[in-house]
Amino acid sequence: MNPAPNLVLVGPMGAGKSSIGKRLAGRFGLAFVDADREIEARTGASVATIFECEGEAGFRAREAAALEALLQREGLVVATGGGAVLDPGSRERMRARGFVVHLQVSLARQLERLARDRSRPLLAGDDREQVLRRLSELRAPLYAEVADLCFDTDALFPPQAAAQLARLLDAQWTRAARPDLQEHPA
């Protein structure tokens, strides 16, 4: 059991990190932070613009710095970007300062959930399936490396996923990390 001061959600695009994270934050009375939105607020530019101007390496440096600052705080639910696990230092900080939940989703469900999304720079090409498959091959071992808990969101809508995950977290994280929290109905 990891009695960390923050809950960190990792996983691929379309796994539900933001939508589930917002619900978990409300459920546990914690602050919700979407790491990509935090980066945008710090830079005054969209993720797409950062990728365009600085490339992926520039974005990843900003992402690592934002996660470092966020994880110094306590009482957060942090929805990371899908590639946040690529940086070894970020992985170390997540493990040290967060109870890390790997939200899993199938390739087919990712394609369905991301079908209308045109805001993600890594999906700007024509073959989204190939891109998502390649990203999964690279990142899945890293998600597994940092995860305290794996949770499959594939067949669940965000409210259902958040309720089920909250019950698991009650048993595996909240009691150890935040003994002051009262038990709330899911």
Could you tell me which of 20, 53, 49 has the C-alpha nearest to residue 36?
49
127 annotated ligand-binding residue: no
69 annotated ligand-binding residue: no
14 annotated ligand-binding residue: yes
Query: What's the pLDDT at 178?
Result: 55
17 annotated ligand-binding residue: yes
How confident is the model over 48-85, as pLDDT tens digits? 899 889 998 999 999 999 999 999 999 999 999 999 99
CB 128 within 8 A of CB 178: no
11 annotated ligand-binding residue: no
DSSP conformation class of 86: G
CATH number of the 7-170 domain: 3.40.50.300
120 annotated ligand-binding residue: yes
pTM, to two decimals: 0.88
- Of the chain, the percentage scoring pLDDT greater than 70 comes to 89
**Mean pLDDT, residues 144-167 taken together:** 95
Q: How many CB atoms lie within 10 A of CB 124?
A: 13
Contacts 24+ apart (CB under 8 A), 115-118: 117/13
177: confidence class by pLDDT, cuts 50, 70, 90: low
Mean pLDDT of the chain: 88
How confident is the model over 15-56, as pLDDT tens digits? 999 999 999 999 999 999 999 999 999 999 999 899 889 998
In this predicted structure, the answer to whether residue 175 has a pLDDT above a threshold of 60 is no
Domain map (residue ranges) of the chain: 7-170
90 annotated ligand-binding residue: no
116 annotated ligand-binding residue: no
Query: What's the pLDDT at 186?
Result: 41
